[in-house]
Structure 1
Amino acid sequence: MRVLLPLLLLPVLLLSACSSDPALYRDNTPVLDHQTFFSGDLCAWGTVHDYSGNVTRRFVADIKGTATATTFELDEIFLFDDGEKQYRLWKFNKTANGWEGRAGDVVGVAEGQFIGNMMALKYDLQITSEESEIIIGMDDELHLVDENNMMGKTVMTKFGITVGEINLIMQKQLNDSACRLERD
C-alpha cells in the first residue's frame, strides 16, 4: 500500500498542475470589460471533448447579454449537433472578491474573476440525461482576443479527475446576422 498510494496520487497532482494561474493575465490587453463585451448579442461555436480528447459533440449558442457596472445577465440557447437544445440564464453580481453567478442548472454559486483580458469562472453543473443526473466541476477560462472575439476552454472534472473539455469561440454580433436560434 505504501508504494501504491503515491502512484494513485500522481495523476491528481499532474492534473492540478495543469490549471493556469489567472494572475498571469493581469497585464494582458485588451482588458475584458464585462459591460462592453457582454452587452448585446453574442454567438458562440464550440466542441465538447471526452477525457481522451475526442470530439463528442458540437454546438452553436445564441446569447443575449445585458450588463451594468455591478451585474450582468447572459440568456443562452445552445443547439447541439444531435438536435438537443439547452437553455441557461446566468445572473452575475459583483462581490468584494470578484463575481458570483447563478443559473438553474448550476449547483450553488459560481465564482468568477475578470483579470486583464480573461474571465475565470468555477462552478458545479448538474447534467441530466435520460439515464441519470450527475454533477460535473466546470473550470472556465475565457480570453478576449480583440474587442469582438473571445476564445475559451472549460475543463470538466469529477472527483478531481478530468473527464472532458469544452473549447469555444464567442463573437459579438454587430448586425442582425447573429446566430438566431428559436427561443421557445
Structure 2
Amino acid sequence: MKRLLGLCLLLMLGSCGGVGVERYAAEQPRLDLAQFFAAPVEAWGIFQKRSGEVAKRFHVQIASHREGERLILDERFLYSDGTRQRRVWTLTPEGAGRWRGQAADVVGVARGEVAGNALRWRYRMQLPVDGSTYEVDFDDWMYLMDADTLVNRSSMSKFGVELGQVSLFFRRSPGGQP
C-alpha cells in the first residue's frame, strides 16, 4: 500500500512540474500564427503509442483565411491506412500572446499561449477509435524553426495517464508571405 501511495504522489508531483511557454520568450524567430499560416501549409506526422510503436502516419494539407481578427485553418488529413479526416479550427486572439481555438471535435475551448518561437495549446478532443469515441486531453507544443518550418510535439492523455504522442512537422510554401 505504501508503494502505491508513493507512486501516486510521484505521478502527481510530476504532472505539476514542467516548463512554461514564457521560458521561450527570447527565442527567435518569433512565432506569429497568422503570418505563418498566411500561405498554404503541408504537414507530416506520426502517432506513437506509449510503447513507442508508431500506430499511425499521416499527411495534412492546411488552407487558411482570415475573418476579421479570427484565423480559420482548414485541415485535411490523409492517414497511412487510407482514411481521411477534416478539421476546421477557428482561432481567435485574446491579447498578450493568448489564443482561443474551437473545432467541431474539440470539447469546449482550446487555450493557447505564444512566447518567442513557441506555442503551447491545451484542449480536450473527441477521438474516434475503432468505432468508439473517447475524450482525450492534448498538450501541444509547437516551435518555429525557421520562417517556413514549425515542429509540433503533443502528448495525449486520459485521466492524467499518457496514451501516446504525436509528432508533426509543418512546412509552408517557401517565402510564403502573403
**Which TM-score applies when normalising by structure 2?**
0.90
- Counterpart position of 1:90: 89
| Partner AA of 1:150 in structure 2 | L
- Report the counterpart of residue 35 of structure 1 in structure 2: 34
Tell me if the contact between 1:12 and 1:161 (Cα under 8 Å) persists in the aligned partners.
no
Report Cα offsets for 1:93-132 as digits up to 9, x if no partner. 1124611100000000000011100111100010123431
Post-superposition Cα deviations, 1:149-180, rounded to whole Å, max 9, x if no partner, equal 111101101101111100011001249xxxxx
Alignment of 1:25-174 (within 5 A): 25-67=24-66, 70-96=69-95, 98-174=98-174
Q: Which runs of 5+ in 1 are unaligned?
A: 176-184
Q: What's the secondary structure of 1:31's corresponding residue?
A: coil
Q: Does the aligned pair in 2 maintain the 1:15–1:162 contact within 8 Å?
A: no
- Three-state SS of the structure 2 residue aligned to 1:126 is strand
Aligned length in residues: 174
Specify the code of the residue in structure 1 equivalent to 2:81. D
- CA apart distance, 1:75: 0.3
**Identical pairs, percent:** 33
User: What is the aligned partner in structure 2 of residue 23 from structure 1?
Assistant: 22
Question: What is the CA-CA distance between 1:16 and the residue it aligns to?
Answer: 4.7
For residues 155 and 23 of structure 2, the distance between their equivalents in structure 1, rounded to whole angstroms, comes to: 18
Q: CA deviation at 1:13?
A: 2.9
Alpha-carbon distance in structure 1 between the residues aligned to 2:130 and 2:165: 22
Any idea what SS the aligned residue of 1:83 has? coil
1:33 and 1:93 map into 2 onto residues whose CA distance is: 13
Show structure 2 runs of 5+ residues with no match: none
- 8 Å CA contact 1:39–1:65 kept in 2: the answer is yes
Task: Please report how far the alpha carbon of residue 9 of structure 1 lies from its aligned counterpart in structure 2 after TM superposition.
Answer: 3.0
- C-alpha root-mean-square deviation of aligned residues, in Å? 1.9
1:70 shift after superposition:
3.2
